Amino acid sequence: MRTLFYILQKEFTQVFRNKSMLPIIFVMPLVQMLILVFAATNELRQVDLAIVDYDHSTVSREMIAGIAGNPFFKVRENLANSQEAENLLMRNKIDLALIIPRHMDKDLTTTKSAQVQVLVDAINGNAAQLSLAYLSSVIGEYNRKVVISRIGGENNPIKTIIIKPTYWFNSQLNYKYYMAPGILVVLITVVGMLLGGMNLVREKELGTIEQINVTPIKKWQFIAGKLLPFLVIGLFDLAFGLLVARLAFAIPIRGSLPLLFGLASVYLVLVLSWGLFISTISDTQQQATFVSFFSLIVFIMMSGLFTPVESMPDWAQKLDFINPLYYFVKIMRSVLLKGSNFSDIFNEFAALSAFAVSIFGLAIFRYRKTS
């Protein structure tokens, strides 16, 4: 134990003496929280819509007025023909084009149904569907009014089912509530996966590791010495990032903070061990950075941070069983937003612990004092 004390004393001294460490500790959380949380959004704020009206009837004008009155749409009217709308679509000036054919009003009266055409820029399929759905609901609403008035006005009892949703855990559908806990996970993952590993490879590059390898230092002591300082930094950054998120976005903290930090410690041991394992098989910082970054990107994209895991193919969902980020993103969101307690997230905790112990063991095993 005394040996470990001297190792930790040395590692902490070096880490905190390093002048680039302070910016890393403070600037990274600020940038990630204040920029990424805004940027990482699937919300559609405004859709550019062009309307070509060939009908010029009361009905078409009423419908257009209804659409233009909706703040979601930024409407361009008075287009001469559909060719003009297509050009705008081509040049990325609009997202949607609504084309109202001649005789819409007449068709509605004589045949009881009329058609309109909608052209959608579907490069981003998700946004395309969302904006179309929005437009459909606005037209649908107008449709309902038309139906009611033609049947005989407000007095006629028409039976419709109205959905009254109650949004749980995030009642205002605030996207930042959803993203901020996830970005916090990315934050401590980067700290964990890169800093510890880089530190170890640096000793290889400088040659100081040779001197360590001729001492009676045990392998686990050396790995623990590389892990603990960055565990502390990771936890500090989590606290700092959480504070920023709280102040900037007022994200709710419904669960227990000691529980969250306890789980974060397990998670950090896991990602730190992974970074250290990578550095035991790398000879240079370049190599280690490359491999760490590669695994980091795979872990993040698969984690459900940006895209729901439920919509991934079955095999991808199965792969997530070994993705540490998948578990911790889930834990973060549940504890912060739902106020989940320990038993609610026990499965995630168990998985993370099992991985943490085995990857830590792997890093120790793979570190060789003798080449």
Partner 1 sequence: MIPSEPVITVRNMVKKFGDFIANDNLNFEVYKGEIFGFIGANGAGKTTAIRILCGLSSPTSGEMNVGGFDIYRQTEKIKQNIGYMSQKFSLYEDLTINENIRFYGGVYGMNIAERKLRTTEMLERLELTAYANRKIGDLPLGWKQKLAFSIAILHNPKIVFLDEPTGGVDPITRRQFWNLIYEAVEKGITVFVTTHYMDEAEYCDRVSIMAEGKIVALDTPEALKKQYNAANMDEVFLKIAR
Q: What span, in angstroms and rounded, lies between the C-alpha atoms of 280 and 294?
A: 16
Contact status, residue 155 vs residue 122, Cβ threshold 8 Å: no
CA angle at 130 for the pair 167 and 71, rounded to the nearest 5°: 80
Of 210, 257, 347, 365, the residue at the interface with partner 1 (CB under 8 A) is 210
- Residue closer to partner 1, measured from CB, 19 or 112: 19
* Alpha carbon 197 to its chain's center: 25
Q: Is 299 in contact with 324 (CB distance < 8 Å)? A: yes
Pick the closer one to partner 1 by CB: 6 or 342.
6
Task: Report 150-209 residues binding partner 1 (CB under 8 A).
Answer: 206-208
Number of Cβ within 10 Å of residue 38's Cβ equals 13
120: part of which helix (H) or strand (E)? Answer: strand 117-120
Q: Among residues 153, 216, 308, 313, which is the contact residue for partner 1, using CB under 8 A? A: 216
Q: How far is CA 209 from CA 55, 217, 240, in A?
A: 80, 11, 33
Q: Are 90 and 41 in contact (CB under 8 A)?
A: no
Nearest to 352 by CA among 319, 324, 317: 324
Spatial contact of 253 and 336, defined as CB atoms under 8 Å apart: yes
Please choose, out of 1-9, 62-70, 244-252, 261-269, the segment that lies near partner 1 by the rule CB under 8 A. 1-9
Judged by CB under 8 A, the residue of 70, 213, 287, 295 near partner 1 is 213
Is 369 near partner 1 (CB under 8 A)? yes
Smallest gap, in angstroms, from Cβ of residue 339 to partner 1? Answer: 45
Q: How far is the CB of 284 from partner 1 (least distance, A)?
A: 15
Please name the helix (run of DSSP H) or strand (run of DSSP E) that holds residue 84, with its range, or none. Answer: helix 82-90
- Please, what is the minimum distance in Å from the beta carbon of residue 235 to partner 1? 24
Residue in 1, 2, 167, 168 binding partner 1, rule: CB under 8 A: 2
> Least CB distance from residue 225 to partner 1, whole Å?
10
Tell me: does residue 133 bind partner 1 (CB under 8 A). Answer: no
| CB nearer partner 1, residue 141 or residue 210 | 210
317 makes contact with partner 1 (CB under 8 A): no
Q: Which residues are paired to 47 by β-bridges?
A: 73
CA distance 13 to 112: 81
- String marking each residue 7-26 x if it binds partner 1 according to CB under 8 A: x-xx--xx--xx--------
Q: Nearer Cβ to partner 1, position 152 or 216?
A: 216
**Is residue 370 a contact point for partner 1 (CB under 8 A)?**
yes
Q: Catalog residues that contact partner 1 under the rule CB under 8 A.
A: 2-3, 5-7, 9-10, 13-14, 17-18, 206-208, 210-211, 213-218, 369-371
